[in-house]
Structure 1
Amino acid sequence: MVARSIVQASNALIASSLPSRLVAVFVGATSGIGETTLKQFAKYAREPRAYFVGRSQTAADRIISECKTLNPLGEYTFIKADISLLHVVDDVCKQIADAEKAVNILFLSAGLIELSRTRTSENLDLSLALTIYSRIRFIVKLLPLLQHATALRRVVTVFAGTKEGPLFQNDLQCDRVSLTKIRSIRGHMCSMIDFNLEAIAKDAPTVSFIHDYPGFVNTGIFEKTEGILAATIRGVSKVVKLFRSNDAKYIPIEECGERHLFLATSARYKPANNERCGIPLDTEDTEVRGSYGSVGGGVYIVDENMESAGSEVEKLLSKMREEGLAEKVWQHTESEFKRICG
């Protein structure tokens, strides 16, 4: 486990160790994990330049004011958009590309656990559109800007890394999977994220990619979710809060932001070319296994303690790669991009 003291010490070095005017893009930052990580970026970076994408102008106005209080020298630009639609993602990325020559951090946390089979106007399942397709589209479209950055080139996607499961290989959009199999759907989505990141990373050896599980953080995601199962989860969650012990692994929202800023800036997670980008750790524990099970590699799957996935996950992913499923996932993703965006 990476102790919170190490996380805080590393974050405190951002202003002195990394260049001023770092550019970060936060997708889904008008609440929850995205918001708290954006605020930590504003707090620690020197003259930060942040773009954040969401749907609530009211929340955005509040967040800009709070970021300005944390760091008056920063620039904070809100882009209002419904990023469940891929053609909207393309529009957002064009706005950023028109304004910037490079992006240092791409932080992706938009999503909901939608349990009523809603489909977008582009004929994608809403939950998968936000958690997988939209995020991967952001990475693909902003990858040239990430590759052009200096000092730090990092992508962090927040979902449920280390909770991978078998793929529904003949139903990648989970159209025919019972909604009661929520754990299996989650595992399927995790594996799809991993294989998409690995495919992109093959052509981007100077960029680090992280898929993480944030742990039990009260972000209010289930308050945005409809359906009987969602209501049940909301009720169970409230009971857990009432009866959990003080030493339970409940991560405060501020600590969650600190840990995700660490993921976005620490040299612990090296790109495939082994360049040490970011803040060096003042500890011997600097080697982290990548998604292929060996040290480094550029793609990292980490848990709430910021440690690599265990051997069971590594074996599962390896087996699916041997079966050609990694290529199948990427081909599917590209075909959906072509269908929707041309």
Structure 2
Amino acid sequence: MVSLSAVQASNSRIATTFGPGSVAVFVGATSGIGETSLKQFARHSQAPRIYFIGRSQEAGDRITGELEALNKEGTYVFVKADVSLVKVVDNVCRGIKSKEKAINLLFLTQGSLHFHTETAEGLHTVASLNFYSRNRFIVNLLPLIQQASGLRRVITIFAGTYEGPIYENDFQAREVPMMKARGHMVSMITLFLEAVAKKAPNVTFIHGYPGAVEGGLLRDPRGVAMYVMKVAWKVVGPFITISTLECGERHAFLATSSKYPAREGGDAGVPLDDGIAIAQGTDGEVGSGVYSVDQFGENAGPKVTAILSRFREEGMVEKVWNHTEEEFKRITGTVAAL
């Protein structure tokens, strides 16, 4: 476990390690986990330029003011968008690409627990936000991330280290039992990161689990099961949650620490303190560029490593990649926005 004090010590050196002008994109950043992660990265950075995307203009305006109070040297651009739609993701990315030549950090937290609903593009809503939308941002912005000097990272926050069986005949998890859906989606996310990493070995990819944090996913429950979960959370939540501040600090650490290097180097990070080791990648090798990490920043254990190894042997990385490209082509006609 990386202690909170070690996390804070590392974060205190972010500004001096990277200098001014880091460019970051935070998606799903107007509440909960995304908001606290955005704020801690902004607070510790030197004159950052940050784009953050969400659905609420009111929340965007509020957070912009709070970011300016945290770090007046930064530039903060809110983009109002419903990123459950892949075509909207493309529009957002085109706007960012028209203004930037390089991006240091892409941080993704958009999500939904709306089972049994569908987007206008024919995607299961849960899968659209947690998987397709996030991955569309990745493939669209990856060329700019590869152009960055120093820090080059993609972080998606869902439930890393909880990889489970994949239902190959139902990638969108339309009929996957709710109790099995998390493991299915977690594995899909991790395997997609592995596929992208093959094309960008100079970029770090992290699938993180935030722990028990009041993240906002249950603020608008639909269906009996979701209401039951919301009630149960109110009862047990206070006993198991970590603070949103700690969550944000730990995510700033994921975004900047040398503990998580790219496979082929070039992804600079805050130097490690004594006693903190480079993380083991999803392939079981130390420092291999793709990481599935728990709420304390440590890599998944041998059980998950074995599951992912079996998926690779079965060609599942390629199957997930090909399926995702097929859906992107069906919806937009291209594998990535131009």
The two structures have a TM-score, normalised by structure 2, of: 0.96
- The residue number in structure 2 matching 1:101 is 101
**1:117-156 correspondence to structure 2 within 5 Å:** 117-156=116-155
Q: Give me the whole-angstrom Cα distance separating, in 2, the residues matched to 1:260 and 1:153.
A: 15
Shift, 1:284, TM fit: 3.5
Q: Give me the whole-angstrom Cα distance separating, in 2, the residues matched to 1:210 and 1:13.
A: 21
Q: Which amino acid aligns with 1:222?
A: L
Q: Give me the whole-angstrom Cα distance separating, in 1, the residues matched to 2:273 and 2:237.
A: 35
Shift, 1:19, TM fit: 2.2
The 8 Å contact of residues 163 and 187 in structure 1, kept in 2 or not, is answered as: yes
- The residue number in structure 2 matching 1:231 is 227
- The residue number in structure 1 matching 2:336 is none
SS at match of 2:199: coil
The 8 Å contact of residues 19 and 151 in structure 1, kept in 2 or not, is answered as: no
Shift, 1:294, TM fit: 1.1
The 8 Å contact of residues 110 and 131 in structure 1, kept in 2 or not, is answered as: yes
Q: Give me the whole-angstrom Cα distance separating, in 2, the residues matched to 1:207 and 1:257.
A: 22
Shift, 1:225, TM fit: 2.5
**1:286-301 correspondence to structure 2 within 5 Å:** 286-301=277-292
SS at match of 1:223: coil
Q: Give me the whole-angstrom Cα distance separating, in 2, the residues matched to 1:299 and 1:224.
A: 33
The 8 Å contact of residues 50 and 76 in structure 2, kept in 1 or not, is answered as: yes
1:339 to 330, 334, 338: 330
Q: Give me the whole-angstrom Cα distance separating, in 1, the residues matched to 2:216 and 2:119.
A: 22
Q: Which runs of structure 1 show a deviation greater than 3 angstroms over 4 or more consecutive aligned residues?
A: none
**1:1-342 correspondence to structure 2 within 5 Å:** 1-115=1-115, 117-177=116-176, 181-241=177-237, 244=239, 249-275=240-266, 277-342=268-333
Alignment gaps of 5+ in structure 1: none
Q: Give me the whole-angstrom Cα distance separating, in 2, the residues matched to 1:173 and 1:69.
A: 41
Aligned residues: 333
Alignment gaps of 5+ in structure 2: 334-338
Shift, 1:5, TM fit: 0.6
Q: Give me the whole-angstrom Cα distance separating, in 2, the residues matched to 1:220 and 1:120.
A: 20
Deviates more, 1:229-238 or 1:217-226: 217-226
Q: Give me the whole-angstrom Cα distance separating, in 2, the residues matched to 1:276 and 1:74.
A: 22
The two structures have a TM-score, normalised by structure 1, of: 0.95
Q: Give me the whole-angstrom Cα distance separating, in 1, the residues matched to 2:87 and 2:118.
A: 15
